[in-house]
Amino acid sequence: MFFVLFVFVYLFNNAPPIHFSLKPFPVFSSQHHHFFHHFLFESKVCSSTMVFYRSVSLLSKLRNRVVQQPSLTNSVRWLQIQTSSDLDLHSQLKELIPEQQERLKKIKSEYGKVELGKITVDMVLGGMRGMTGLLWETSLLDPDEGIRFRGLSIPECQKVLPAAKPGGEPLPEGLLWLLLTGKVPTKEQVDALSKELRSRATIPDHVYKTIDALPVTAHPMTQFTTGVMALQTQSEFSKAYEKGIHKSKYWEPTFEDSLSLIAQVPAVAAYVYRRMYKGGERIGVDESLDYGANFAHMLGFDGPEIQELMRLYVTIHSDHEGGNVSAHTGHLVSSALSDPYLSFAAALNGLAGPLHGLANQEVLLWIKSVVADCGENVTTDQLKDYIWKTLNSGKVVPGFGHGVLRKTDPRYMCQREFAMKHLPNDPLFQLVSKLYDVVPPILTELGKVKNPWPNVDAHSGVLLNYYGLTEARYYTVLFGVSRSIGICSQLVWDRALGLPLERPKSVTMEWLENKCKK
């Protein structure tokens, strides 16, 4: 018995780093199961089998070794403990894909005729809001809970994803691994992925020349999208398709393109910033830094706090399920078998719209207009008057409301927590805090807004401004870099699952009138 307990304690204290999958399998892995049985057999301690299984039960209950994941229905399921030390993301996907392909086939064969809801005229005329019509594996948005990345909320991701330092913000590479595999990676896996991304980050010289052909005054998103399009010449998917690759292998060159694209967009985005605002001097990749910190470095910001902010920013902006303009655009274009570069460039053009990604620049500009009009020490009454002035002029208060969410955006809240920790006395942050108290009641009084609460854009600009990244016109580019992680992860699964060309039915007003008169 003592020997068995010794083995149990040794294994628990010396087990390889664990990470979690989103499948409700038993919490004790087969590797550990076989490990114990080997010792039990060799030591001929069969009489201690009951002690072993009790130890297994205790292990599964230890709070600091597992994660409970509340589902959207408030139920709880245990996440599988993984002990794999495989550092190769490609091989992990290769193991996962066949299982998910069979899962999709089963859903189609067993539930293909199940109705998911009714379509109303309001949905057709209202931008298809509330209409379920896309498969998007990497994240799911709940109106009340906010975004979940592979089932994990933002606070949960902050707890379980590896960080650059203890208690720090999650590394974006960790979220990329999670979105692609559904598993929380180890720090070693994240470090390996970070190294691979750095190895793919070299930018061909023609990309810089293509951007330089544009006026330096062109909008940053125009320059950024042009750079992404110029990267397309290296597409592995395009080359493989021209050579006649079998459709069952589409996902592999898509994976290669996606990793390269994710690796390269920070350097392209940083060049746009340096060209527009810093005289055009490029800053290269630092081989010692992770993805978020390197992005800040290439922009020209090397402080530890802004590196932490960039890690947080990229992580929380990476994905927001598939129905938003940029994600849906990327999926739509990719469904025509356009490669990830073409698909992501199209997504960026959607992101550049004022009703989508451009909103984050509008928020900071509006906040600064409040300060210019009322001063930094604006009173609550002055703020109310300015808000009504904005609304009565036919404009919206930027940063408030959301097409799906019906509560405060969790992405706003984690940025607020960052500000309270690092810049509690910043005047603009204090103004944002006042807006959080003042704006929602006014929008509720207006009666036309389903969600009066702040979204992610209401806070990000103030944080960036505090650390010296003051050029609001550039902020959507930061959003675009982040969104590459979510969109490209889903593109890999689009090809792995063999999702078809997207082709919804459209109708005319006459058709609607005739249909509704019947």
Query: Which sequence positions are flagged as catalytic?
Result: 356, 402, 457
Q: How far is CA 382 from CA 8, 218, 373, 392, 438, in A?
A: 65, 36, 10, 15, 11
- Outline where 167-303 has alpha helix (H): 172-181, 187-199, 205-212, 220-231, 236-242, 251-277, 291-299
- How many whole angstroms separate alpha carbon 282 and alpha carbon 289? 17
Q: Which two tokens stand for residue 155?
A: 């606070």
Partner residues linked to 163 by β-bridges: 170
Give the number of other CB atoms < 10 A from CB of residue 58. 11
Give the 3-state secondary structure of residue 216: coil
Is residue 419 a contact partner of residue 426, using CB atoms and an 8 Å limit?
Answer: yes
Rg (CA), the chain: 25
Partner residues linked to 69 by β-bridges: 77
Is residue 415 a contact partner of residue 317, using CB atoms and an 8 Å limit?
Answer: no
3-state SS string over 104-147? HHHHHHHHCCCCCCCCCHHHHHCCCCCCCCCCCCCEEEECCCEE
- How many whole angstroms separate alpha carbon 33 and alpha carbon 11? 11
Is residue 310 a contact partner of residue 463, using CB atoms and an 8 Å limit?
Answer: no
How far is C-alpha 445 from the chain's CA centre?
A: 33
Give the 3-state secondary structure of residue 219: coil
Partner residues linked to 146 by β-bridges: 142
